[in-house]
Copies of this chain bind each other. A is one copy, B any other.
Amino acid sequence: MHPNVFVSADEIAAIRAARGQYALLDATIEADVVMMEAALGEPIETPPPGEAGGYAHERHKQNYREMMAAGLLYQITGERRYADFVRDMLLQYAEMYPALGPHPMSERQVPGKLFHQLLNENVWLVHTIVGYDNVYDALTEAERATIEANVFRPMLEWFTGEGAFSLDRIHNHGTWAAASVGMAGYVLGDRDLVEQALYGTDKSGEAGFLRQLDELFSPDGYYMEGPYYARYAIWPFFYFAEAIARNEPALDIYAYRDGILEKALYATVQTAWPDGTLPALNDGSLYMSVAAPGVVLGTDLVYDRYGNDPTLLGVARFQGQVILNGSGLAVARAYAAAETIPEMTWESVEFRDGADGEGGGLGILRAGTGEGQTVALMKYGVHGLGHGHFDKLGLILWDQGRDVLDDYGFARFVNVEPKYGGRYLPENDTWAKQTLAHNTVVVDGRSQNDGDRREADAMHADRHFFDGDASDGVQAVSAYARGYYPGVDMQRTVLLVEDDAFDHPILIDLFRLAADAEHQYDYPLHYDGVPITASFDLAGHADALRPLGDDAGYQHVWETGRASATGDVQFTWLDGNRYYSVTTAGTAPTEILMGRTGANDPDFNLTSEPLLVLRRRAADHLFASVIEPHGYYSGATESSVQARPRVAAVRVLGSDDAASVVEIEDHAGARWHVFVNNGAPSDGPHTATVGGQAVTWTGNVAVRPVP
């Protein structure tokens, strides 16, 4: 019975009846209609295979999008021309495909025939088979026979033969292979293909889709390469899962591994910033968002297959579209029925990393609602293979709709051919991956693991504690990174504190280093915007700039200014409509380096961004800082209020392996004490000695006004 892998005849009937009623559904159908009107007005093209990113490559990609859309539109509208389009295009492929050999331009990867890498051909088949499934009944037996014999069958032979390495791989490329083979198996009624997809080519279960579900996500659904890659990785998982659910309900795929598919979707969308973009962790882009098609697919399926979570409707708002099956219809209907425009407000959350959940994690603290949320994110998981960055204990702060303390993400202009062919730029290795490119301490001017990926992949940071309960105004995440630098252990505890004394949540950052010998500790802050004032002389260099160093990313930073301070260090900048100040306790003399990326960058591949580095020499040391958003600025109305911070001083009252105690004082003389348990986590009482007196608090962290 067709269609059977993505949508059913009943769902099609419901979608047809629903047209004109639900904005998201109508928008989706309309976008497909517009795309197909353009396609139907042009001759069908199936060009000979070409280079990656070139015309033929892009044409074949567009062809699969059009075949899937045309198949669905045929079902929804009943218009024969859509079915004819899929038929004619597939018949044209049928004339070309059997004669194709392996693509000549593959490099270090399994080739496809239409595309230089098998991956693209897997993706092509996943979408095309959905289109075929939808027009199956509109084709003659002879047409189907021609298409299957000359396109799908030889393609599947290639995938399961030459491509077996990819199909059996526990890797997201393997998932695309499995999805393509499995979905084609269902559509063609070929059980053998389905079993190879589910259990590996040898059907042992050592490989295949279920094994991929076991191993590619942490028990919390986190994908080790980070959200930018997760948004792509989950795409084939959901396509194939949905096909399985429809064809083999007994497998109960959505319950598999304690509902890992649900967790994988949440672990993607819950990492999103309040504006829907995904954090640029590892080799990630600053611009990818929950509107990516794999996330649209996952969001709609999870909404419908699991508990109709209304926050997913807030995700759908950023997507502006749904998938064209019963799940997409359910989302469109619920979205239209919502009393107010759905808002995406996630709670604070921690995701464990590593397939076994023992590889550290990712902690996200959130305050506020919707797009007005303030978010602090700390990364303390596994390295993440080839796309990993040497950035354990890295911090990103999001506020007023922007990344106030940011991560550079990758150094790459995807698909921009004149920019190094759209590939990762050389500066991705020499800058973006280096520790200095992140908001985490750099020891002795070297990157973590000295930039050695194999060493980094063999270890991970460690969770310490996570308190995402905002009810008392104090949330916190704490983690360790041990062994990333020889002889230096690191612990970072970040608190997001809502206190009536401050107009916005403030961030308290305690970055603790423990070492037997003295080291150079660089604490970088990748701010953006305009320096406003500082407790030190900003001392911008007048007539010459030099790079900050020779390697480990330092060679890419122009030193734009240098100053020194013996007491607290305070620096205020303006970003958007808000001022930000960092105040760091003067526990050691500080050399302050002002920098800007762009050195040793002959092709201007790096974007020009400022950073501030606080440099100290110490053995055991605590960088105790408060990052305070304050005031308001508008260039349009030329208004400015509270351009100076409220925090006047930060003092370390004590810090050792047991606890850290820090005092914050504001300009009015009000004081707060911050208590952090550095030892084994516990919700019980903790004690530290401050000024000869024992102080006691309950839980891993506490913030108390000083009477």
Contacts and interface: CB of A to CB of B under 8 A. Distances in A.
Interface of A: 285-289, 291, 413-419, 422, 530-533, 538-540, 542-547, 555, 558, 560-561, 572, 574, 594, 596, 598-604, 607-608, 610, 633-636, 638-640, 643-644
A540 B603 contact: yes
Contacts of A544: 544-546
A633 B543 contact: no
A4 B287 CA distance: 56
Contact of A416 (B285, B417, B422, B574): B574
A638 B415 contact: yes
B638 A530 contact: no
Given A416-B574, A560-B598, 9 more contacts: A413-B633, A417-B643, A418-B532, A419-B643, A540-B598, A540-B603, A540-B604, A544-B544, A608-B610
Nearest to A532: B418
Contacts of A538: 602-604
A123 to B, nearest CB: 14
A560 B600 CA distance: 10
17 contacts: A287-B636, A413-B633, A414-B640, A416-B532, A417-B644, A418-B532, A422-B640, A540-B601, A540-B602, A542-B601, A542-B602, A543-B546, A543-B555, A544-B544, A544-B545, A545-B545, A608-B610
A447 B560 CA distance: 27
Nearest to A639: B415
A555 B610 CA distance: 20
Given A540-B601, A544-B545, A636-B289, A532 B643 contact: no
Contact of A635 (B285, B533, B601, B638): B285
Contacts of A291: 636
Contacts of A415: 638-640
A508 B538 CA distance: 43
A288 B533 CA distance: 24
B636 A416 contact: no
A416 B604 contact: no
Contacts of A634: 287
Contacts of A574: 413, 416
A542 B555 CA distance: 9
Nearest to A634: B287
A329 to B, nearest CB: 25
A585 to B, nearest CB: 22
Contacts of A288: 635-636, 638
Contacts of A560: 598, 604
Nearest to A547: B543
Nearest to A414: B638
Nearest to A276: B636
A58 to B, nearest CB: 9
A444 B230 CA distance: 56
Q: What are the 8 A-B residue pairs with the smallest beta carbon separation, nearest first?
A: A287-B635, A545-B545, A418-B533, A531-B604, A414-B638, A415-B640, A540-B602, A416-B640
Nearest to A631: B416
Contacts of A413: 530, 532, 574, 633, 640
B532 A419 contact: yes
B608 A418 contact: no
A415 B531 CA distance: 15
Contacts of A636: 287-289, 291
A179 to B, nearest CB: 21
A20 to B, nearest CB: 21
A459 to B, nearest CB: 32
B539 A602 contact: yes
A533 B560 CA distance: 27
A529 B698 CA distance: 51
A604 B600 contact: no
A558 B540 CA distance: 13
Nearest to A412: B638
Contacts of A633: 413, 416
Nearest to A546: B544
Contacts of A598: 540, 560, 596
Nearest to A543: B547
Contacts of A539: 602
A233 to B, nearest CB: 16
Contacts of A607: 530
A634 B416 CA distance: 10
Contacts of A543: 546-547, 555, 599-600
| Residue of A417, A572, A594, A633 with highest tally of chain B CB at under 10 A | A417
Contacts of A639: 415
A617 to B, nearest CB: 25
Nearest to A604: B531
A695 to B, nearest CB: 36
Contacts of A608: 596, 608, 610
